[in-house]
Amino acid sequence: MLQVNEIRNEREKIEEGLKKRNIQDLNFLDEIISWDDVRKSTQYELDNILAKSNQLSREIGELYKNGKTEDVNVLRAESAELKNQTKTLQEKLNETKTKIEQLLFEVPNPVHRSVPAGKGESENIIIKSVGEPTENDLLPHWELAKKYDLIDFELGTKITGAGFPVYKGKGAKLQRALIQYFLDKNTAAGYTEVQVPILVNEASARGTGQLPDKEAQMYEVPLDGFYLIPTAEVPVTNIYRDEILEEKDLPVLLTGYTPCFRREAGSYGKDVRGLNRLHQFDKVEIVRIEKPENSYEALENMKNHVEEILNELGFTYRILHLCGGDTGFASASTFDFEVWSSAQAKWLEVSSVSNFEVFQANRLKLRYKTGKGTELCHTLNGSSLALPRILASLLEHYQTEDGIAIPAVLHPYCGFQSIEN
């Protein structure tokens, strides 16, 4: 969430970042400033009346001491009127603050100056490509999953509905192996593992920017006011909501595995077959809390970390810097990782790493102490990694005439080197 002072003091920078998102009508910024002018004038008037009220209280006390009760009654009437004015102004101030907050919650994060301009995913910039995409007469992962009895999509539909697969036998073991491998890679890189709830309250969803932007994509538990998490980013980052950290404790590096839940409203067609798009899926996440001056170096570090994992798995992949029109609501800069599926002849997104700068921290009230007071932290997160498309890519990429070979890096984790009939 933007701060009003940012809009006042860094207007040109904010407008540039929003225009890269293809937001051309920026009148809402003037509306926010206008409401803040009302807030400031109301606060000024309220402070003056409170000062008068305090002065009257002192005068009434003095009159009582001197036995001038008749004069007290006159001042009491004046004091009562001031209290009525105070109440009216306080209500107006609260309403104004609420209006400003509502407006600010609707404004996306202005993207960083390094983010390329563009309207949508076709204008994302490929910054690196490893391996050569090929198209072969291979089985897609949903056919491989059925052939080797690894994943039962129909059973998941019976139990719950489409998009809730059941992993079986070596399919379940391979899924568990990937999760453990990802966590071990992350902890070896300095991330502390945490296990967090998969249900969050509204404050947590608002804190990381899922609300009010993504209500339609989240599963809600209305009786209790909870939401099923779309990513571990939400509960992990909210560990530090309403916290003031010591400067010496930064950076904070956390990793966690969770099931994730997304309604994926509007998704349909061939792109949702098999593991391509699910309502429930597993994901390992990395989260960083950084000092502002270090956050873009941290983003580069996260990008390199995810790339190392993809290299160890032996995939053909590419890294994209998302253009303004394709960058998520809360992000200032995002890099996507895509793995090539030879069987489907297309790229599958398997990770995003993003820097949110102060956008989430302002919502979370997450600060750190400096020599001059406190300052908002920068928050970052990334998939390291999302399981469904990694598993799909692994099955397709490593299929042979005799079965499916398992990458050597996973042998210690899954206990087998191949999947065969």
Cβ neighbours for 138, distance < 8 A, ≥ 6 positions apart: 342, 343, 396, 399
Is 231 part of any known ligand binding site?
A: yes
| Residue 349 assigned ligand-binding role | yes
Residue type, 119: K
Pairing of strands 151-152, 166-167: antiparallel
Q: Are 399 and 182 in contact (CB under 8 A)?
A: no
Quick check: 157 and 355 in contact, CB under 8 A? no
Flag whether 350 is marked binding.
yes
Is residue 324 a contact partner of residue 173, using CB atoms and an 8 Å limit? Answer: no
Residue with tokens 């599963």: 219
Residue 188 tokens, joined: 């070896």
State how far the Cα of 46 lies from the Cα of 240, in Å rounded to an integer: 34
312 is in an annotated binding site: no
The answer to whether 285 is annotated as binding is yes
The answer to whether the annotation marks 5 as part of a ligand binding site is no
Q: Encoding tokens for residue 44?
A: 């000024």
Q: Is the dihedral of CA 16, 22, 27, 30 positive or negative?
A: negative
For residue 385, say if its preceding peptide bond is cis, omega within 30 degrees of 0: yes
Does 396 carry a binding-site annotation?
no
- AA letter at 386: A
Cis peptide before 108 (omega within 30 of 0): no
- Is 21 annotated for ligand binding? no
Chain-centroid distance of CA 383 in Å reads 11
- Residue numbers in the known binding site for L-serine are 231, 262, 285, 381
- Residue numbers in the known binding site are 231, 262-264, 285, 349-352, 381
- Residue numbers in the known binding site for ATP are 262-264, 349-352
